[in-house]
Amino acid sequence: MRRKTAGVVLITGASSGIGRACAVHLVRRGYYVFGTTRRSPAEVRTDLRHEIGSTDRLEIVGMDVDRDASVSLAINEIVERTGRLDGAVNCAGFGIAGPVEDTSDDEALANFETNLFGTLRVCRAVLPIMRRQGSGTIINVSSIGGRIGLPFQGVYSATKFALEGLTEALRMEVRRFGIRVVLIEPGDFCTGFTDNRRIVRGARESDAYAETFRMTLSVVETDERNAASPELVASLIARILACRSPRVRYTIGPVSQRFAAHVKNVLPSRLFEWGLKKYYRVD
């Protein structure tokens, strides 16, 4: 390592959104950051260094979390260069929206491939390194949609529900090796996630759901575009990386969304569902 840092951290999906905000914030906090992207690493490096300024604590490497070989190659490169890996922040992912009925198998599988299996691939690749060190922190970025099934985002919520169960189990399995595993559950933040959300093909042909889906998606996108900066999530992640005994999950975002996540298991299910349907105009 070229200079003393707060630690070496891998961030997937560093070209935009929460991943990008984390890369910028952690470099400024003294971490040696390796951000990954499917895009041109040189392009993303130039973009980030334009915001951060000249630094030798930021590297961008190519990685496609959908491919085992790509994940292994990138992480091997990082460890060869640094000799260790103190943190892995799994931000890579995308949203999909549309009626569950109109979502094809290939669309659902693509979302699971990145949001769930992509995270699993990274976890599998970094765990042997952290186990040899006897330390490390893995932070998996889930969503409030991983606690609440969101109307017309059913498949996306399913990927995050699955990620929650995977992370809870992994946390118990690896704690004895000195490895900490944590979930972050962001609500709405203003990022490129909104514009990059994929609309299922069948939604464009569906008469049964068309009007309700249009109204619900309008609510969702308005909330996202008017939300806070993802810098808040990056700041939370920095605190978790520095924490010796972090909690299993941290919910962050608008108060109303955090409140909904916490009261879901307290309110009668019919009342909770009624409120959710009213808010998203599903009735």
Per-residue confidence (pLDDT) for residue 168, from 0 to 100: 98
Of residues 149, 136, 120, the one with CA closest to residue 241: 136
The torsion defined by the Cα of 107, 223, 120 and 18, in degrees rounded to 10, comes to: 130
Evaluate if residue 44 carries a pLDDT over 50: yes
241-257 pLDDT tens trace: 999 999 999 999 999 99
Per-residue confidence (pLDDT) for residue 20, from 0 to 100: 96
| 245 located within any domain | yes
| 3 located within any domain | no
| 92 located within any domain | yes
More confident residue, 236 or 283: 236
Q: Among residues of the chain, what percentage have pLDDT more than 90?
A: 91
| 275 located within any domain | yes
Of the pLDDT bands very low, low, confident and very high (cuts 50, 70, 90), residue 116 is: very high
Evaluate if residue 30 carries a pLDDT over 60: yes
What is the rounded distance in angstroms from the CA atom of residue 113 to the CA atom of residue 208? Answer: 28
| 2 located within any domain | no
Evaluate if residue 101 carries a pLDDT over 80: yes
| 268 located within any domain | yes
Indicate which residues carry an active-site annotation. Answer: 15, 142, 156, 160
Cβ neighbors of 85 (< 8 A, separation 6 or more) are 8, 9, 10, 75, 78, 79, 126, 129, 130, 133, 136
What is the rounded distance in angstroms from the CA atom of residue 26 to the CA atom of residue 56? Answer: 13
55-87 pLDDT tens trace: 789 999 999 999 999 999 999 999 999 999 999
More confident residue, 3 or 209: 209
Task: Find the domain containing 111 and state its range.
Answer: 8-279
Of the pLDDT bands very low, low, confident and very high (cuts 50, 70, 90), residue 2 is: very low
Evaluate if residue 5 carries a pLDDT over 80: no
| 51 located within any domain | yes
Domain count, the chain: 1
Mean pLDDT of 42-54: 87
| 33 located within any domain | yes
Mean pLDDT of 161-187: 98
Evaluate if residue 109 carries a pLDDT over 60: yes
185-227 pLDDT tens trace: 999 999 999 999 999 999 988 789 999 999 999 999 999 999 9
Mean pLDDT of 264-280: 95
Quote the mean pLDDT of the chain: 95
- Where is average pLDDT lowest: 2-16, 20-34, 120-134, 265-279? 2-16
Please check whether residue 27 is in contact with residue 57, taking contact to mean a CB–CB distance below 8 angstroms: yes
Mean pLDDT of 127-139: 97
Evaluate if residue 23 carries a pLDDT over 60: yes
Coil, strand or helix at 14: coil
Question: What CATH number did the domain enclosing 209 receive?
Answer: 3.40.50.720
At 205, list the tokens. 């042909």
Per-residue confidence (pLDDT) for residue 1, from 0 to 100: 34
Evaluate if residue 3 carries a pLDDT over 70: no
What is the rounded distance in angstroms from the CA atom of residue 253 to the CA atom of residue 41? Answer: 30
